[in-house]
Structure 1
Amino acid sequence: MDKDTPTFDKENYIKEFLNLNSNKFSKEQSINIFLGALFQLLTDKTVFNKNSDIKIFLNQIFEKEYKDYLFRSRPYLAARVLKDIKKYRSYRDIINLSTEIAKILDKEILLDSKTSKTKPKNKIENNILGWLDHVNKDGEK
């Protein structure tokens, strides 16, 4: 990846999609930003590790089945999805889709953090137990 190309994580995508609801952009600008952000999201391997994850995501968002051969190539899949959006979706639909995508990505962030296998380093219980052990050792002297 090029040094000048920004790297995105799920939080950045959420901000980008929610930013479309503000009145900062014209109708055309909002549509173009949405299409660009969606293309980048669909081709991002850090957000969607497997192409099957994209299939689940598209079923949730668009409630449309895409043929399996499209999932062999992310750019082809993204191009087809963007073509369908431009052809069949209105501006209002696109704004609603951006909100829905942000909600789904936010849910996935919560699920990822809940199912994380790493334990938090500083649990309050551990700190209290450590403090009590320290106090008891000092009291025994």
Structure 2
Amino acid sequence: MNYIRDFLEINSVESNEELIETLLFLSVSVLSEIVLDRMHFKKNKDLKQFTTDVLLESYKDYLFDSRPTLYARIVKDLRAYKKNNKEHFLQLEK
């Protein structure tokens, strides 16, 4: 399954709630490939630049000691952001 392709080809015919859930699901999938797979970032500390530039988050250093811990925190923050900012979350589609 190609999560990145699916993410880019989201069908905008879905209702807002369905679209938001689809975006969240695909975002989490893509992030798992980026954060957990060492192919993109060899060293954990290299992920700091990614989280700052792409996710616009400055996480504390201790989160970069463990990729699963960092990933869990990113997903938690993404879910909270989706819940609190539905209109802005939908702009990711464009």
| TM-score, reference length from structure 2 | 0.71
How many residues in Structure 1 have an aligned counterpart in Structure 2? 87
Q: Distance in 2 between matches of 1:14 and 1:37?
A: 6
Contact residue 16 and residue 37 of structure 1 kept, 8 A? no
Structure 1, gaps ≥5 residues long: 1-5, 7-11, 100-141
Per-residue deviation at 1:61? 1.6
Superposed CA RMSD: 2.6
Q: What residue is the counterpart of 2:89 in the other structure?
A: 93
Sort the Cα spacing of 1:77 and 1:32 in 2 relative to 1 into closer, same or farther, 3 A.
same
Equivalent positions of 1:1-141 (< 5 A) are 14-20=4-10, 22-23=11-12, 26-27=18-19, 28-89=21-82, 90-91=85-86, 92-93=88-89, 96=92
Contact residue 64 and residue 70 of structure 2 kept, 8 A? yes
The code of the aligned residue for 1:32 comes to F
Per-residue deviation at 1:30? 2.8
Please, which moves more after superposition, 70-79 or 22-31? Answer: 22-31
C-alpha offsets along residues 104-134 of structure 1, whole Å, 9 cap, x if unaligned? xxxxxxxxxxxxxxxxxxxxxxxxxxxxxxx
| TM-score, reference length from structure 1 | 0.50
Higher CA-based Rg: 1
What is the SS of the residue equivalent to 2:77?
helix
